[in-house]
Amino acid sequence: SFKQAAARAGANIALVKYWGKRDQRLNLPAAGSISITLAGLETRTTVTPDPTLGADEFVLDGVEQPPGRVGAVLDLVRERAGATVACRVESRNNFPTGAGLASSASGFAALVVAAAQAFGLQLSESELSGLARRGSGSAARSIFGGFAEMDPGHRENGVDAVARPLLSAEEWPLEVVVAITDSGSKAVGSRDGMNHTMRTSPYYPAWVETVAEDLDAARSAIAARDFEALAETAEHSALKMHASMLAARPGLVYWNPATLACLHAVRALRSAGTGVFFTIDAGPQLKAVCLPGESERVAGLLADQPGVSDVLVTGLGGGAARAAV
Ligand code: DP6
């Protein structure tokens, strides 16, 4: 009675960053985070339960991968369904993988929606968010569209470490420009990078202690559609996260010269009155978040920065959803 199912989910970009865990096994974040889910950057995943398979198979963008965390998340779904059948998982991103564009977020969000459907489970969005978190912390947020907040929870079993929606994409349709400054894979992945920062950066305790005040400021700014306040908080959160990485031993430097050129270009634009701010994740791409109507001008400026190979323009999108197989 288990049957093939498909789902899609959008990537998300954190405005208040997640960086560090309180529990490795259950993948519980040390602090909360707030993100926007994107419309144009998405993963589409098909899960096919197949009793003829000896083990799970995972194919990403046409290339066979070790099942790894995908298999571990499937195990959680199978456990809930009382099933043991192996699955073939086929995933496709419509954007470059591994270049700091959060493919694991859209990937695990799409996976849990498709897998729950394949195994006939009726799960709430909150339960789906908790399952997605086991694959990747940021994936918990991609279950929801628009603006979402991840709660770090306080329970040891992690049931309260899930995301929830704050505002839909339609309620504040911000635009997003991604400046691609290096399309290769990142040097140190988020998981290793955050664990290294936790272990060795003297700034990490200060990071964890100050996330809650950024969450309060960002949540209020979003509720009030106060772009200036959101811009100030989001840039602060991104730079503070990178400061904690830089102070690790050895320091983690994710930026390249083009990243910094884009950062200064965005700041100059905002000083001149354009509604735009930047954020940067564990990679060299810069993401510019813009007021509705501003993305074209911002994309033009970022495309002109030395070292920028491409710009993607998109907006906020909906949450993870089932798709036709
Ligand atoms: C810099 O969600 O990839 O993008 O939970 O270990 O899989 P794991 O980490 P991951 O980390 C994302 C880090 C970030 C900031 C963010 O998205 O909040």
Cβ–ligand 1 distance for 136 under 6 Å, the answer: yes
For residue 184, is pLDDT > 80?
Answer: no
pLDDT at 100: 56
Strand partners of residue 277: 289
**How many CB atoms lie under 10 A from the CB of residue 236?**
16
Looking at 135-149, 182-196, 253-267, which range is the least confident one? 182-196
> Over the stretch 138-172, which tens digit does the pLDDT of each residue have?
999 999 999 999 999 999 999 999 999 999 999 99
Condensed to tens digits (0 to 9), the pLDDT of residues 39-82 reads 989 999 999 999 999 999 999 999 999 999 999 999 999 999 99
Q: Element (H or E) spanning 213, and its range?
A: helix 204-223
Nearest CA to ligand 1 atom 6: 191
Distance CA 130, CA 27 (A): 10
Instruction: Tell me the percentage of the chain whose pLDDT exceeds 90.
Output: 94
Tokens of 221: 């700014």
Would you state the pLDDT for residue 187?
Answer: 79
Residue 253 has pLDDT above 90, yes or no: yes
Q: Which atom in ligand 1 lies closest to the alpha carbon of residue 282?
A: 1
CA dihedral sign of residues 42, 98, 64, 83? negative
Question: Which of 308, 215, 179, 170 has the alpha carbon at shortest distance from 15?
Answer: 215
What percentage of the chain carries pLDDT values higher than 70?
Answer: 98
SS3 200: helix
**Is the distance from the beta carbon of residue 285 to the nearest atom of ligand 1 less than 6 Å?**
no
Give the CA angle between residues 47, 186, 173 to the nearest 5°. Answer: 65
> Given this model, what pLDDT does residue 185 score?
65
Q: What is the pLDDT of residue 98?
A: 47
pLDDT number for residue 102: 60
Average pLDDT of the segment spanning 8-25:
98
**How does residue 95 score in pLDDT terms, banded at 50, 70 and 90?**
confident
Does the pLDDT value for residue 99 go beyond 60?
A: no
Place of tokens 């983690």: 252
Mean pLDDT of the chain: 96
* DSSP state letter for 13: E
Report which DSSP code applies to 191. H
Q: Is any atom of ligand 1 closer than 6 Å to the C-beta of 190?
A: yes
What does the alpha-carbon distance between residue 179 and residue 174 come to, in Å, rounded to a whole number?
17
> With 0-12 CB in 10 A as exposed, 13-18 as middle and 19+ as buried, what is 274?
middle
Amino acid at 39: A
**Looking at residues 110-130, what average pLDDT do you find?**
98
Q: Read off the pTM.
A: 0.97
Q: How far is the CA of 138 from the centre of ligand 1 (A)?
A: 5
What pLDDT shows up at residue 166? 98
Asked if pLDDT for residue 97 goes beyond 80, the answer is no
Q: Which residue, by CA, sits nearest to atom 1 of ligand 1?
A: 281
Tell me how far the alpha carbon of residue 268 lies from the centroid of ligand 1, in angstroms.
28
Let me know if 82 is exposed, middle or buried by CB neighbors in 10 A (0-12, 13-18, 19+).
Answer: exposed
Distance in Å, CA 200 to ligand 1 centroid? 18
Distance CA 233, CA 220 (A): 11
Hey, what are 185's tokens? 């894979």
- Say yes or no: CB of residue 295 within 6 Å of ligand 1: no
Does residue 148 contact residue 165 with C-beta atoms inside 8 Å? yes
Q: Which two tokens stand for residue 275?
A: 């509604």
Residue 38 has pLDDT above 90, yes or no: yes
Quick one: how far is CA 104 from the chain centroid?
7
Q: What is the distance in A from the centroid of ligand 1 to the CA of 50? A: 31
190-209 average pLDDT score: 98
Q: Are 18 and 137 in contact (CB under 8 A)?
A: yes
